[in-house]
């Protein structure tokens, strides 16, 4: 087992290695993921009244690599999670293995009422443009994650540019209030998480699994802790931590539930050194639930998920659902 005490050392190593991925590492890519979050994907809601507020849009591109580039010294006794690892688990789980994920992304937040003037009780407009690196240590049915996320808010986050351009190109309503977005602020988040997995098999196939997880974040963007569980049931499920492509087709349904204790949320509390008081009052406890459906065949996979959170601030009328489309390519 790895202790959360190594989080800071690991995060610094990951930050140094996330600046670029040298060409030799390209051959170590296990998988690629493209993830898009948007409340426009809430297809069961009539288009004319579909929401476009709170957490409104997110885009993430991630590449998982074999081994531990940049933080090898903290996992020198473990082998890389090679793509040739067994299907039951990545690269001999009894011995343990390590992998590293680099990602680039953007998240956009909007108040419920788009307005030329800031409205009391409405969350601020905000964009978050970031890069992140995450180290994963698999030991049997347990996986530990250590990560760092670094980014910026304000005009350099390109939130206003992306939102206004997208609405103009697609013919959606004009957005008018981004001049009131959060000011420029560099941000950093350190992350630690631990997951425990159990599965149910029928013959040679996996028909169900459950992953319970706990974790914590620390930084000027987000500070808090969480715990949750995710369950899947279906036909010939692939191991969630393996990146090995298979010829067979897997189909499954999933369900999630989690709770968060939130000590800081930049996108609700406002800029750390800002002179303006917070526009809303953050809720210290937030719960979420969700469901999803996925399919994987050969090197490719896709998943559609819906996640609904309880209100994140006192003035929020109610929870907000956001849907996700995720596409995966495996080496």
pLDDT per residue as tens digits for the range 89-115: 444 444 578 889 999 999 999 998 888
Question: In this predicted model, what pLDDT tens digit does every residue of 22-45 receive, in sequence order?
Answer: 555 555 788 899 999 998 899 988
- By C-alpha distance, which of 130, 95, 135, 131 is closest to 7? 135
Three-class DSSP category at 166: helix
DSSP structure class, residue 276: S
Question: In this predicted model, what pLDDT tens digit does every residue of 169-215 receive, in sequence order?
Answer: 877 777 888 998 999 999 999 999 999 999 999 887 889 999 999 99
Three-class DSSP category at 109: strand
The neighbouring-strand residues paired with 303 are 294, 326
Alpha-carbon gap, residue 216 to 214, rounded angstroms: 7
Residue corresponding to tokens 């005009």: 155
Alpha-carbon gap, residue 285 to 71, rounded angstroms: 34
Sorted by where each begins, the domain ranges of the chain are: 4-330
Superfamily designation of domain 4-330: Outer membrane protein (2.40.128.140)
The pLDDT value recorded for residue 40 is: 87
Work out the number of other CB atoms within 10 angstroms of the CB of residue 296: 22
For the four alpha carbons of 20, 2, 289 and 330, in that order, the dihedral sign comes to positive
Question: Length of the chain, please?
Answer: 331
Global confidence as pTM: 0.86
State what percent of residues in the chain have pLDDT above 90: 55
The percent helix, strand, coil of the chain (3-state, each to 5) is 15, 50, 35
For strands 126-139 and 97-110, give the pairing: antiparallel
Strands, E assignment, 184-266 = 186-202, 205-219, 222-235, 246-265
For strands 205-219 and 285-298, give the pairing: unpaired
């Amino acid at each position: 087992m790895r202790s959360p005490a190594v989080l800071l050392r690991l995060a610094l190593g990951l930050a140094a290695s996330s600046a670029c991925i040298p060409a030799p590492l390209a051959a170590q890519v296990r998988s690629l993921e493209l993830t898009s979050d948007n409340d426009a994907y809430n297809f069961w809601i009539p288009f004319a009244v579909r929401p476009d507020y709170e957490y409104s849009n997110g885009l993430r591109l991630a590449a998982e690599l074999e081994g531990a580039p940049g933080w090898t010294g903290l996992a020198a006794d473990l082998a890389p999670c090679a793509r040739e690892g067994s299907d039951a688990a990545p690269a001999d789980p009894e011995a343990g293995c390590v992998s590293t994920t680099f990602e680039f992304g953007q998240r956009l937040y909007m108040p419920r009422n788009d307005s030329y003037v800031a409205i009391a009780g409405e969350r601020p407009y905000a964009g978050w443009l970031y890069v992140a690196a995450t180290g994963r240590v698999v030991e049997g049915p347990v996986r530990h994650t250590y990560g760092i996320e670094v980014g910026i808010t304000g005009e350099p986050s390109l939130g206003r540019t992306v939102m206004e351009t997208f609405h103009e190109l697609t013919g959606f309503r004009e957005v008018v209030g981004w001049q009131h977005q959060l000011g420029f602020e560099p941000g950093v988040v350190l992350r630690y998480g631990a997951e425990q997995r159990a599965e149910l098999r029928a013959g040679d196939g996996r028909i169900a699994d459950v992953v319970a997880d706990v974790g914590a974040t620390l930084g000027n963007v987000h500070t808090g802790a969480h715990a949750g569980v995710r369950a899947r049931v279906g036909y010939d499920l692939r191991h969630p931590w393996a990146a090995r492509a298979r010829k067979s087709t897997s189909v499954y349904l999933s369900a999630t539930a989690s709770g968060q204790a939130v000590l800081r949320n930049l996108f609700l509390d406002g800029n750390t050194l800002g002179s303006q008081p917070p526009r809303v009052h953050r809720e210290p406890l937030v719960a979420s639930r969700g469901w999803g459906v996925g399919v994987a065949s050969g090197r490719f996979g896709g998943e559609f998920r819906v996640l609904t959170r309880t209100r994140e601030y006192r003035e929020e009328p109610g929870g907000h659902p956001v849907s996700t489309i995720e596409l995966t390519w495996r080496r």
